[in-house]
Amino acid sequence: MTDLSRQRVIVTGGAGFIGCALAERLAAKAEKWVVVDSLHPQVHQVQERPAALVEAAELIVGDVTDPAVWETVLAEIEPTVVIHLAAETGTAQSLNEATRHAHVNVVGTTVMLDALSARGIVPERFLLSSSRAVYGEGAWEKSSGEVYYPGQRSHAQFEAGQWDFPDAKPLASRAAVTVPAPTSVYGSTKLAQEHVLSAWVNARDTTLTTLRLQNVYGPGQSLSNPYTGIVSLFSQLAQRGESIPIYEDGLITRDFVYIDDVADAFVAALALPAEEASIVGDVGSGVGTTIMQLAEAIAAYHQAPAPHITGKYRDGDVRHAECTIDDTLRMLDWEPRWPVDRGVAGLQSWIAEQTAR
């Protein structure tokens, strides 16, 4: 798909963090770019069009789970491309608000597909924003060389301070190899999204590109959402001169990927010709960073007190989450350009601007 000027695009959840970054790059190039977003107050403090959403993007405020919203949307546009970003994303929150996450992430997807089916619309391309949460703890390798899937850590392990699985090391996730085994309701609903969309698309001979995102951060991320991500949270604590609290022993590992790199991956995915577009790819920096390393870098930037270990833990949290991006580098004309130190510095500057305002 090289000529976006002939494409009519619907972006669900497109007024959010990733949606605004993507619209900035592509909305003006498309024949039509329509954003469907509920402007949920957990993400949008003010229920009005975000300043970061470029004028070329038309905004329809509505919930993807509401069939009436889709009646309005599909009367406005017959999409050739659907970019599905709409989702409830709080990993820990999902354990206590399972219905909400399942309703938006799964039912929202099926309501959208039913609306397309009712009108006989088969878009040429679907692009799904999935998550590293589908892997759960992923695969680990024992000292004997055996690869196994340990599953979710138990309360007994947590209470004993046994943060890692014994006699084993974690393996970086890779879509072509790692078996999805989510340990949160959120991860389960994202995997369900993948399955539902795949079934619908395969039955209609169209294409689905799935990008499993690691921990996305950067300018534009909601600073009011308590589930928005630890990079923004840590940054705000350090900016106020507070010591950053660290769960477990500080050696939890994540792959932090900057928003610009994520948006560029979506652009590259949309550029794929149809015959190469049915892929599942991991989008991250390809480098694991411990939570302590991240916190120390942010604290040093603000000259804040050193981070402190609390020994606390979160149910459903995985110990190590990072990915191998070699396959994605081969499939897409893309590579990450923002190492964590540069990305963290860029975020601090943006947060300072927002605070000043």
Vertex 239 angle, CA 261 and 357, to 5°: 80
pLDDT of residue 45: 72
Question: Which listed residue (148, 149, 186, 258) is catalytic?
Answer: 186
How many domains are contained in the chain? 1
Answer yes or no: 186 catalytic. Answer: yes
Q: What is the pLDDT, as a whole number, of residue 117?
A: 98
Q: How far apart are CA 214 and CA 255, in angstroms?
A: 6
- Scanning the chain, the segments in alpha helix (DSSP H) are 17-26, 67-76, 91-96, 98-102, 108-118, 155-159, 185-203, 230-239, 259-270, 291-302, 326-331, 340-356
What is the per-residue DSSP string for 240-309?
TTPPPEE-TTS--EE-EEEHHHHHHHHHHHHTS-GGG---EEEES-S--EEHHHHHHHHHHHHTPPPPEE
Tokens encoding 260? 């610009």
How many alpha carbons fall within 13 Å on the CB side of residue 316?
17
Q: What is the CATH number of the domain that holds 62?
A: 3.40.50.720
Residue written as token pair 């969309």: 197
Instruction: Look up residue 55 and give its two tokens.
Output: 């004028």
pLDDT digit of tens for each residue in the chain (357 aa)? 668 989 999 999 999 999 999 999 999 999 999 999 999 777 777 778 999 999 999 999 999 999 999 999 999 999 999 999 999 887 767 777 799 999 999 999 999 999 999 999 999 999 999 999 999 999 999 999 999 999 999 999 999 999 999 999 999 999 999 999 999 999 999 999 999 999 999 999 999 999 999 999 999 887 776 666 788 889 989 999 999 999 999 999 999 999 999 999 999 999 999 999 999 999 999 999 999 999 999 999 999 999 999 999 988 789 999 999 999 999 999 999 999 999 999 999 888 888 777
Q: Which domain holds residue 45?
A: 4-356
Q: Look up residue 63 and give its amino acid.
A: D
Tell the residue number behind the tokens 């072509």, with chain if given: 176
